[in-house]
Chain A
Amino acid sequence: MSTDFDAIVVGAGPAGSCAAIVLARAGKRVALIERGPFAGSKNMYGGVVYPRILDELIPNWWEEAPIQRWVTRRSTMLLTDTQALTIDFRSQNWGAPPYNGATAYRPDFDAWLADHAVAAGAVLVTSTTVTGLIRHTNGAVTGVHTDRPDGDLTAPIVIACDGVNSFLAKEAGLYPDVDADNYTLGVKETISLPKETIDERFAVTDREGVDIEILGGTNGVNGGGFVYTQLDTVAVGVVLKLSKLAAQKTRPEQILAKLKAHPAIAPLIKGGEIKEYSAHVIPEAGYEMMPKLTADGLMVAGDAAAMCLAAGIWLEGVNFAMASGMYAGEAAVEAIESGNCNASGLAGYRKRLENTFVLQDHKKLRHAPHLVLSDRVQHLYPQMVANLVERMFTVDNPKPKPGIRRILKQERKRAGVKLSDLARDGWTGFRSFG
């Protein structure tokens, strides 16, 4: 049966563009359909990408990617209302090729990736929303409906890269019941400041950048925060567990305003002008919430398949999206060439994910998202640790210095942390992160 394309990729985010690059480079006719007026126009995130996976797809990508700053300082900050404990790491190695993490604006980064797909021969159709799947009577997906007049397109394979809350994956029945507890809401402000001010306040120079991940500072709603530096803007945001946010009935921008006013954050952004406010949902539960990844004629990649890794000290979604898109593209090429685009012909997709960091990291860290968002890690431990450190460094002469073990015991009791819970969480954390 003749079809309009060999493959249709829905969504020109990092997952979709990488899938389209692979397919187009293999000489396949591929349509990349994006609802926004250009790739990246609808997309937001915190701000740091780890594009190592692009080494395979775009060698020396760092020479051309629209990068703002190369992250050379990574801090993990623990906040209570009046305290802040920061572990700060700096490496100049990350400021030179082949680099590590980088800050980039999504409208720039995603558009750049989509340009590569177009250069490889993909047909990018923008301002077009896919509204549903076309299915053969046997159930196999054979194309998509779009919101344009006469808007149906056919292909033996559809790759759904339509992001979190994927309507296509849901329509195909790949998601089991959706649980709001598996999602967080991320909101952020992009605040403009002169480059020199940012350099000074964050102790960096030239294109060096800073990534601060924050535990606490979310007004008691389980989640976390972040601060990232771009060339002449700073991104400040919070990630909030949906069910807790709903229960607290606080507006997310109020929580963000409170974080911005925290004594550890306020001086970093003082005098800045808000350029942008944006919000997006994150599939936070990772492996535990992943859907079935394939059906006849259909694959799901990136956030659409809950592949964002949100494990406290790591919030990585773009690299997982790029990799899963790329592997979906490879599996699609294989299936098209073998003439079997059913789920069995697409099995190469899952295999690739399992053999690489995508599913390996997710499997290893499968308990991390729930641990990090648990009430104890969110509310009890930060206060306990901050109090411990405060007492360690409080000089209370003429009293002698207290022993750390004794303070720990007292603070644990004061925080109401049971030893058995501490041991259990410690073990889960060790198994995940260790």
Chain B
Amino acid sequence: MLVGVCIKWTPGRPEVDTSGSVLTDDRFGGVSLADQAALEVALSIGDQVKVVCIGPEAAVAALRDSLAVGATAVQFVACGAQPSSRDVAVSLAQHLGGCELIVCGDYSADRGSGSVPAFLAAQLGASQALGLVAVERKGTNLECVRRLDGGRREVVRVAPSSNSPAVISVEGSVAKLRRASLAGTLAARSANIPTANAGINADLNGEITRYRPPTRIVAPPKGNQAIDRIRALTDSTAAKSRGELVTLSPSEAAERIIQAMREWGYLTS
């Protein structure tokens, strides 16, 4: 089975300087533990493993490391900009043709939202099982365990095939990446790394928005005594909106979540 792996290299030691810009150091860069686990899962499942990485020039180091541990092919896609997850997925999909299974990490080492695998599955028309905490090969299928809310787990059977590929994403605890042999390391130093251009121009730098909702004007709490006003602000019984339990079909649930996010200010459109 040809297994594709998508990894994201991120520069290390991020620091915010006095002017507010983020400084990083490429020499401490690398891929997340989740991406490392993805590579290990692929190496233990696949007969052939192709690793694709979109990023700046320094990311080539991550592909050399992948070759050193046993990846059979790699593809570097040069992209200086900070593309959206959808753009990344479109670009990745172009290099994953023929893969029955694609393994991604559940998060990258920077702002990882874990959304690329979902976009990638949509792009490839593949089935998806994301946020896995265990992956086991059972014949031609995979038996996977997915983390659910409230400490619950869900067992998902994934049946990848050449005409129906699957995308999975794994957490870092799923597997520990093997150590590269010395011969592998030496060979990878001078290996040819095929390079393509992502052709993505959009740079999200200017568009990245905060995770917190925008500040809202809150009316002053009522009460003559300070203690009453503090109570009004902090007492949970005084809270206006509480959690709401709704039972909906998946598509209605998605709509409801989007609506709530709009109300809370996380989404503006």
Contact = CB atoms under 8 A, between A and B. Distances in A.
A146 to B, nearest CB: 6
B interface secondary structure, majority: mixed
Contacts of A243: none
B202 interface: no
Interface stretch (A148-156, A256-264, A365-373): A148-156
Nearest to B180: A148
B182 interface: yes
Interface residues of B, number: 11
Contacts of A150: 181-183
B181 A148 contact: yes
B27 A149 contact: no
Contacts of B18: 194
A37 interface: yes
8 contacts: A37-B28, A38-B27, A41-B27, A125-B186, A148-B182, A148-B185, A149-B179, A152-B182
Given A38-B27, A107-B27, A111-B27, A146 B182 contact: yes
Interface in A144-175: 146-153
B27 A153 contact: no
Interface in B161-199: 179-183, 185-186, 189
A422 to B, nearest CB: 51
A153 B28 contact: no
A331 B189 CA distance: 28
A235 B27 CA distance: 22
Contacts of B27: 37-38, 41, 107, 111
Contacts of B189: 123, 125
Contacts of A123: 186, 189
B185 A128 contact: yes
A307 to B, nearest CB: 27
Contacts of B186: 123, 125
A79 to B, nearest CB: 32
Given A128-B182, A150-B183, 20 more contacts: A37-B27, A107-B27, A111-B27, A123-B189, A125-B182, A125-B185, A125-B186, A125-B189, A146-B182, A147-B179, A148-B179, A148-B180, A148-B181, A148-B185, A149-B179, A149-B182, A150-B181, A150-B182, A152-B182, A153-B182
Contact-residue bracket for chain A: 10 to 19
A128 B183 CA distance: 12
B70 to A, nearest CB: 11
Interface of B: 18, 27-28, 179-183, 185-186, 189
Interface in A221-254: none
Contacts of B180: 148-149
Top 8 A-B pairs ranked by shortest CB distance?
Answer: A148-B182, A151-B182, A149-B181, A150-B181, A38-B27, A148-B181, A150-B182, A146-B182
Contacts of A107: 27
Nearest to B26: A38
B181 A151 contact: yes
A128 B181 CA distance: 10
A215 B147 CA distance: 60
B188 to A, nearest CB: 10
Interface string A185-199: 000000000100000
Contacts of B185: 125, 128, 148
A41 to B, nearest CB: 7
Interface string A98-117: 00000000010001000000
A13 to B, nearest CB: 16
Nearest to B29: A37
Contacts of B28: 37, 41
Interface in A120-159: 123, 125, 128, 146-153
Nearest to A111: B27
A267 B179 CA distance: 49
A191 to B, nearest CB: 15
B204 to A, nearest CB: 29
Nearest to B15: A275
A399 to B, nearest CB: 53
A76 to B, nearest CB: 33
Nearest to B18: A194
A152 B186 CA distance: 12
A38 B189 CA distance: 14
Contacts of A148: 179-182, 185
Contacts of A38: 27
Contacts of B182: 125, 128, 146, 148-153
Interface string A386-399: 00000000000000
Interface string A34-48: 000110010000000
Nearest to A126: B185
A146 B182 CA distance: 8
A148 B182 CA distance: 6
Nearest to B25: A107
A122 B241 CA distance: 66
A146 B183 CA distance: 11
B109 to A, nearest CB: 14
A37 B189 CA distance: 14
A128 B180 CA distance: 10
B12 to A, nearest CB: 9
A54 B17 CA distance: 34
Nearest to A150: B181
A125 B27 CA distance: 15
